Amino acid sequence: MSFEGKAVIVTGGGSGMGKASALSFAERGANVLVADISGDSAEKTVEEITAAGGKAYAHTFDLRDRDQVVGMIAAGVEQLGGLDVLANVGAISANQSVEEMTLEFWENMQTTNLRGNMLGMQAAIPHLRERNGSIVNVASGAAFYAVPGLAAYSASKAGLIAMGRVLAQENAPYIRVNAVLPGPTKSAMSDGVKSTAAVAAKRAAVGQTIGRWLDPSEIADVVVWVSSDAARAVNGALFRVDGGHHML
Ligand SMILES: NC(=O)c1ccc[n+]([C@@H]2O[C@H](COP(=O)([O-])OP(=O)(O)OC[C@H]3O[C@@H](n4cnc5c(N)ncnc54)[C@H](O)[C@@H]3O)[C@@H](O)[C@H]2O)c1
């Protein structure tokens, strides 16, 4: 899979799957904008890419801020000279039952995971159409399985999947939009989510399928493949990259 000369934006590129995806795109010849709320971690990813001979730029932005999201896409288009791939990987996760949920908690989740990505995709559409580009949304298996406490997160990810499929229809045949649904993967996010009994039970079930937690690079492999020419016939598809977790 070559991305020689391709322009790629990866959000959440400072950590976990976003970082692994940015490294992999760059290794295959892409010029990458590594966008993240943490400027330091985005810079670190860029340093690794540059040290390996690749080309990348760091960009600090907050998915919750409309102007910063639109500005991030504009900066990417300018620095990379156009746009071929938008990989929406950045997100937050936290748990709170529906009964106890505060409006602030709900709105923060939807504003980050759903509205932020909508604004990014909206701003990217004209640039991606010019190049027959591709969007990949990193959602979650949680969009389909029901874990108590994850209502807001699951809703944001189900919304992202639905929105992406509509966008794919609206822009066919010019922009492909696909979703990757990771299962339990070792990262800052999975380390940070409060482990309620329900979350712990779902995590314990990892042992019944692939028998281990996934590595961010294993999700990145599918993110990169679905963005490549090898997947040129793939559109509006969902990929469960979870070692079989969804079967339980
Ligand atoms: N880790 C898992 O088990 C798991 C499972 C299913 C889905 N996912 C999804 O995979 C994706 C990557 O998660 P990860 O596990 O690599 O987590 P991670 O925490 O390592 O990476 C998420 C990145 O998003 C960035 N981010 C957070 N809020 C932001 C904001 N407001 N603006 C811009 N950037 C922001 C963070 O700084 C971080 O670099 C996420 O979309 C997550 O929902 C993760």
Residues 6+ apart with CB under 8 A from 166: none
Question: In terms of Cα–Cα distance, which of 153, 213, 208 is closest to 187?
Answer: 213
Atom of ligand 1 minimally distant from the CA of 14? 39
Spacing, Cα 19 to ligand 1 middle (Å):
10
The per-residue pLDDT for 195 is 67
Contact status, residue 230 vs residue 193, Cβ threshold 8 Å: no
Q: For 18-54, what is each residue's pLDDT tens digit?
A: 999 999 999 999 999 999 999 999 999 999 999 999 9
* Residue 189 CB less than 6 A away from ligand 1: yes
Contact status, residue 169 vs residue 236, Cβ threshold 8 Å: yes
To test the ligand 1 pocket, which listed residue (15, 70, 135) has its Cβ within 8 A of the most ligand atoms? 15
**Cβ-based neighbour number of residue 93 at 10 Å:** 20
Question: In terms of Cα–Cα distance, which of 133, 132, 129, 159 is closest to 144?
Answer: 159
Q: 145: pLDDT confidence band, cut at 50, 70 and 90? A: confident
Atom of ligand 1 minimally distant from the CA of 11? 34
Sign of CA dihedral 228, 15, 187, 143: negative
Q: Over 153-180, what HEC string results?
A: HHHHHHHHHHHHHHHHHHCCCCCEEEEE
* Residue 243 CB less than 6 A away from ligand 1: no
Q: For 237-246, what is each residue's pLDDT tens digit?
A: 999 999 998 8
The per-residue pLDDT for 196 is 72
Q: How far apart are CA 139 and CA 93, in angstroms?
A: 11
* Residue 17 CB less than 6 A away from ligand 1: yes
* Residue 140 CB less than 6 A away from ligand 1: yes
Q: Please provide the average confidence, as pLDDT, over all residues in the chain.
A: 95
**In terms of residues, how long is the chain?**
248
The per-residue pLDDT for 44 is 98
Contact status, residue 48 vs residue 97, Cβ threshold 8 Å: no
Q: For 172-224, what is each residue's pLDDT tens digit?
A: 999 999 999 999 998 888 877 666 776 777 677 776 678 889 999 999 999 99
The per-residue pLDDT for 245 is 86
The per-residue pLDDT for 247 is 84
Q: What percent of the chain has pLDDT over 70?
A: 96
Q: Which residue has the tokens 């330091």?
A: 40
The per-residue pLDDT for 187 is 87
**Cβ-based neighbour number of residue 47 at 10 Å:** 12
Atom of ligand 1 minimally distant from the CA of 192? 19
The per-residue pLDDT for 210 is 81
DSSP 139-157: --GGGTS--TT-HHHHHHH
Q: How far apart are CA 38 and CA 203, in angstroms?
A: 27
Sign of CA dihedral 10, 12, 14, 16: negative
- At 22, which helix (H) or strand (E)? helix 16-27
Q: How far apart are CA 96 and CA 92, in angstroms?
A: 13
The per-residue pLDDT for 191 is 76
Instruction: Please give the positions annotated as active site.
Output: 153
To test the ligand 1 pocket, which listed residue (41, 187, 218, 242) has its Cβ within 8 A of the most ligand atoms? 187
Q: For 55-107, what is each residue's pLDDT tens digit?
A: 999 999 999 999 999 999 999 999 999 999 999 999 999 999 999 999 999 99
> Does 154 score more than 70 pLDDT?
yes
* Residue 216 CB less than 6 A away from ligand 1: yes
The stretch 221-230 carries a mean pLDDT of: 98
Q: For 92-105, what is each residue's pLDDT tens digit?
A: 999 999 999 999 99
Give all domains of the chain, ordered by start, each with its CATH number: 7-236 (3.40.50.720)
**Cβ-based neighbour number of residue 137 at 10 Å:** 25
Q: What percent of the chain has pLDDT over 90?
A: 85
Contact status, residue 14 vs residue 61, Cβ threshold 8 Å: no
Spacing, Cα 139 to ligand 1 middle (Å):
10
The stretch 123-128 carries a mean pLDDT of: 98
* Residue 159 CB less than 6 A away from ligand 1: no
The per-residue pLDDT for 207 is 67
DSSP tag of 215: P
* Cα 203 to the center of its chain, rounded Å: 21
**Cβ-based neighbour number of residue 178 at 10 Å:** 24
> Does 146 score more than 70 pLDDT?
yes
